[in-house]
Amino acid sequence: MTAFRIDKDKAVHAALYVLDRIGPADYHKVFKILYFAEQVHLKNFGRPLTGDSYQAMKYGPVPSFLYDVFKASEKSESPFVEAMVRSKAFAVERGARKPIVRALVKPDLDELSESDLEALTISIEENSMLGFDALVKKSHDSAWDLAEKAEDIEMSYIDIAKAAGISDGMISYICLQAENASSKLA
């Protein structure tokens, strides 16, 4: 598994940025916009945007930490202190069919680099108008397939990058970045 260190504050502010741009949305839309922003960032800059681990779920990739944050906001409780603290930036209302997330604060743009904002903006422009079924179909890419087939729910950043059509040279660079990140994790 190719591991990167998650930047939890950046993950929260990336989600806030998405909600600031598109307005209140369901988990699914926010998560898919973030997933495709991760792909854009990998392709253009050779590193993930947030480093959150993506889980291959039934309806597509889900960022693990942000899912915990949204659930903490929805339920006003969590076994994870970091998720509970960060959940105060969001309000989640259970709609007739699905929970709707609303930002309670503006994103802190100092938490997001120019490359982060570029990748998020591209993903928002390409994906915010897509419906649920189109986002499911688009996000069920080769990275999702590989995680599902291997029964390994966590998706590899290398597979996510390959699904975005990234060059072999950039894949090598991402592997080196992941190796460096992993050595810092130990």
Closest to 143 measured CA to CA, from 34, 60, 76:
60
Q: Say how far apart CA 119 and CA 41 lie, in whole Å.
A: 6
Mean pLDDT of 41-57: 94
176 pairs with which residues across the strands? none
Question: What one-letter code names the amino acid at 129?
Answer: M
25-34, 81-90, 146-155, 158-167: segment of lowest average pLDDT: 146-155
Is residue 176's pLDDT more than 90?
A: no
27-31, 81-85, 128-132, 179-183: segment of lowest average pLDDT: 179-183
* Residue 11, number of CB atoms within 10 A of its CB: 22
Q: Where are the domains of the chain?
A: 8-185
Q: Say how far apart CA 65 and CA 73 lie, in whole Å.
A: 13
Q: Say how far apart CA 90 and CA 104 lie, in whole Å.
A: 5
Question: What one-letter code names the amino acid at 46?
Answer: G
Q: What is the pLDDT of residue 182?
A: 66
Q: Give the global pTM.
A: 0.93
Is residue 60's pLDDT more than 90?
A: yes
Over residues 91-149, the pLDDT tens digits come to 999 866 789 999 999 999 999 999 999 999 999 999 999 999 999 999 999 999 998 77
Q: Say how far apart CA 43 and CA 156 lie, in whole Å.
A: 15
Name the average pLDDT for the chain.
91
Write the CA distances from 30 to 5, 73, 93, 111, 131, integer angstroms. 21, 15, 15, 18, 12
Closest to 101 measured CA to CA, from 125, 129, 66:
66
In the three-class reduction of DSSP (H, G, I as helix; E, B as strand; rest coil), residue 110 is classed as helix
**What percentage of the chain has pLDDT greater than the value 90?**
76
* Residue 131, number of CB atoms within 10 A of its CB: 9
Is residue 17's pLDDT more than 80?
A: yes
Q: Say how far apart CA 78 and CA 36 lie, in whole Å.
A: 27
